[in-house]
Structure 1
């Protein structure tokens, strides 16, 4: 679920080791390659899309030279052209392979919340009660709002290694949120009020999902007795159905839908589906207020647990704001949500593209995916900037 995370409390790296929490292993699915990867990059890789010709030679060479990501499906696209600007299958990884995406799932919850805000069903400044009727009315915990739970600043993410009810699929999402509320708020650290600390972990998003499920006022059609939609129905209503994401769920779609899905790390998707989400983000019509959705919300906060591969990045609503230095995050237009198995998608609103590394790496995938992403970014920018009108 989580990226490799390091403790940065009091400015130190703790023991210097890395903390990693991974989803339960899932059976390896067989896939048939759609495109055979050549033994070495061809002399030139060109593609004409939308009246322009792009030279992807340098990008493909870098992808093939990367020894850490052996099997992946790579996609680069923009918001205006339905055809991908670039796609490449390295090794054997089908564009339609259903894959556990670990922490890349976090963007799902942020997007769902923003879509429900657009629909008038919630606001980012909503307090947890009254939909979550168990919520306390005393202490700093009473001040937790939806925006805090989505931005890792709620006070519930003390440690990404802490287990808990998010790993109990047969529990109700509501009762899981109550368990987190009752047991997981870190009252031992001074100043642990919502909006005061950035700590990367699973609990805030689990609470956010429970709140959205309880807040929804729509009624599931055809049910008797009538009931509110559950989190899976809301996700389909607001995200997957509008985008035609037919192979994406908050759980492994090969099984049954859990009543308490692992919100921060249990999602599954395909490269084709996830690219639709990234393209929608970039387009600006699916989520109208992209500035609110993508802006940093952790600048200047105490950083307790931060992914090692994102030590200088800030956090938005379900995604990181990428930057080389914390100060640069104020103007950065690059957001991403990498996962522990290397699945890494990102949008660059300044250059005007989205990209995806769809992969499943059993060990150290989070660092390997991000390293390849960082190498790809400059090469993609170069290819876009040097495109030429098609003759």
Structure 2
């Protein structure tokens, strides 16, 4: 408890200094969870409480990894089977002759995209660099990586994505985010169920997580803030976005959760529990990056760290991820201790990164 008190003091100091609007943080170990909250729902609003439901942004990705590996465990999918059987939009992709090059200079893909490629972010789809022709083209089609789900139906998303070339040959480079959205479409088509039903049936239901989902009660959602053009806080429309069912149930960025429920989910990454067999947890939390892919991932993963299947893998035994709307959650697989810090402001706001870095003190 002393460790949590110390971190709460640091976060409260950021609130008092005007660098942080609000936060909820917590630790969990051996089935016991401790939660604390500070700051407010808005600069002049009511206090945040421990049961606040936050938009997770990219903290959704580990949930997608667990769900996909559960489908492998059940024999519905196989890691190295081509996804084109279920995703014909990606059956004959073209590939840029040079990552970051013109999108009209392409060659045929040398291999098929597999589920393993999607899970490890090596499918050749994703963040292709600021200002690159492929990134611009994805933005024009509203399918570029970002903190919110694509504003369209899944079939339309795959059609638009399939109309563009891959940034790289499958299995060669590491490209962030988009693979997770493709993953959700794959799982839905493989099972005939919605992504929301799959999450409920295989993760949140078995774990008893009542507050993880694709929608949330707007009264429990805080106002989230980004950086405005004048350098001040700019209110984001996250409450309206997550108070209504989305057109696209995204495993890249679409879920909401309380800190308490997310900490319980992180327990799965230690031993699997009732959700996933230990061998699949081991597969998910093992570093998969080649030297080339590790270079591609620079800026997304910390120096000296790796990436498994939808999670960062740290050399100290911690695995997890962070979200661009100001959330982070990791668990130490050696000790079973999990920690999470959720804030009400995005990464680009001064003070957010400093707040999220306190998660490492909670894990020790």
Q: TM-score range by the shorter chain?
A: 0.7 to 0.9
* 2:192 corresponds to 1:199: no
CA drift at 1:307: 3.5
CA drift at 1:250: 3.2
Question: Which deviates further from its counterpart, 295-304 or 107-116?
Answer: 295-304
Aligned-residue RMSD, C-alpha: 2.9
**Structure richer in helix, relative to its length:** 2
Match of 1:89 among 37, 53, 57: 37
Match of 1:155 among 124, 139, 144: 124
Equivalent residue of 2:322, what SS?
Answer: coil
In structure 2, do the counterparts of structure 1 residues 60 and 256 end up closer, same or farther at CA, with 3 Å as the change threshold? closer
In structure 2, do the counterparts of structure 1 residues 380 and 297 end up closer, same or farther at CA, with 3 Å as the change threshold? closer
Match of 1:385 in 2: none
* 2:127 corresponds to 1:144: no
* 2:265 corresponds to 1:317: no
Q: Report Cα offsets for 1:182-214 as digits up to 9, x if no partner.
A: 21512xxxxx222211122x3211111111111
Match of 2:287 among 275, 291, 296: 296
Match of 1:243 in 2: 207
* 2:276 corresponds to 1:287: yes
Q: Measure the CA separation in 2 of the matches of 1:108 and 1:141.
A: 30
Instruction: Map residues 1-391 of structure 1 onto 2, 5 A cutoff.
Output: 56-66=4-14, 68-78=19-29, 80-81=30-31, 83-84=32-33, 86-91=34-39, 92-137=47-92, 139-140=108-109, 142-159=111-128, 162=135, 163=139, 164-166=141-143, 171-186=152-167, 192-200=168-176, 202-216=177-191, 228-251=192-215, 255-285=243-273, 286-288=275-277, 289-302=280-293, 303-304=295-296, 306-307=298-299, 310=302, 312-322=304-314, 329=315, 332-362=316-346, 364=348, 368=351, 370-378=353-361, 380-381=363-364
Equivalent residue of 1:338, what SS?
Answer: strand
Give the TM-score of the pair, scaled to structure 1: 0.68
In structure 2, do the counterparts of structure 1 residues 100 and 310 end up closer, same or farther at CA, with 3 Å as the change threshold? same
| 8 Å Cα contact 1:135/1:142 also seen in 2 | no
| 8 Å Cα contact 1:294/1:317 also seen in 2 | yes
Q: Measure the CA separation in 1 of the matches of 2:244 and 2:110.
A: 34
| 8 Å Cα contact 1:180/1:203 also seen in 2 | no
Equivalent residue of 1:183, what SS?
Answer: coil
Match of 1:221 in 2: none
CA drift at 1:251: 4.9
| 8 Å Cα contact 2:188/2:195 also seen in 1 | yes
Give the TM-score of the pair, scaled to structure 2: 0.72
Equivalent residue of 1:197, what SS?
Answer: coil
CA drift at 1:77: 0.7
Unpaired runs of 5+ residues, structure 1, are 1-44, 47-54, 187-191, 217-227, 323-328, 382-391
In structure 2, do the counterparts of structure 1 residues 290 and 95 end up closer, same or farther at CA, with 3 Å as the change threshold? same
Q: Report Cα offsets for 1:144-176 as digits up to 9, x if no partner.
A: 111211221110114376434547756331331
Q: Measure the CA separation in 2 of the matches of 1:368 and 1:345.
A: 18
CA drift at 1:334: 1.0
Match of 1:3 in 2: none
Q: Measure the CA separation in 1 of the matches of 2:57 and 2:149.
A: 16
Q: Report Cα offsets for 1:79-118 as digits up to 9, x if no partner.
A: x32x21x322122322222221111111121121012122
Q: Which consecutive aligned stretches of 4+ in structure 1 deviate over 3 angstroms post-superposition?
A: 55-70, 164-171, 250-256, 302-313, 367-376
In structure 2, do the counterparts of structure 1 residues 168 and 359 end up closer, same or farther at CA, with 3 Å as the change threshold? closer
Aligned residues: 300
- Whose radius of gyration is greater, 1 or 2? 1
